[in-house]
């Protein structure tokens, strides 16, 4: 069975958010890129949301990811939002990857 594009993008987004949620490592990565990582994640979540609408996949993860990308400039809030986004995205990816009966 072929995986939907939205499911694949949800998995990629979830893994990227989980990486950014690792204390000190994720923050160091964001700072070393001059916050460009947050801009990239915003675009990734926007593209993922587009495909989720197109393929009727769960949308809560990409929406939360967009909000996270906008608010993650604040260190402690950013960490908590990245962690929450990663969890929601992993759940959304698992749901979107399930075969339909």
pLDDT tens-digit readout, 50-64: 999 999 999 999 999
Give the structural domain span for 56.
20-97
Q: What is the largest CA-CA distance in the chain?
A: 46
Give Cα 83 to chain centroid, integer Å: 10
pLDDT surpassing 70 at residue 1: no
Q: Is the pLDDT score of 100 beyond 80?
A: no
Asked, for residue 43, whether it belongs to a domain, the answer is: yes
Q: Considering the domain boundaries, does residue 7 fall inside one?
A: no
Helices (H) and strands (E) in the chain, counts: 5, 0
Residue 93 within any structural domain of the chain: yes
Phi and psi for 34 in degrees, rounded to 5?
A: 65, 35
Taking residue 71's Cβ as centre, other Cβ atoms within 10 Å add up to: 13
Residue 5 resides in a domain: no
pTM here is 0.94
Number of domains in the chain: 1
């Amino acid at each position: 069975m072929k995986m939907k594009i939205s499911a694949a993008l949800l998995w990629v987004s979830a893994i990227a958010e989980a990486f950014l949620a690792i204390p000190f490592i994720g923050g160091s990565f964001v700072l070393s890129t001059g916050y460009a990582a947050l801009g990239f994640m915003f675009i990734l979540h926007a593209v993922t949301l587009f495909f989720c609408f197109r393929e009727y996949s769960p949308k809560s993860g990409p929406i939360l990811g967009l909000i996270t990308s906008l608010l993650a400039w604040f260190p402690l809030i950013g960490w908590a939002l990245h962690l929450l986004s990663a969890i929601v995205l992993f759940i959304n990816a698992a749901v979107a990857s399930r075969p339909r009966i």
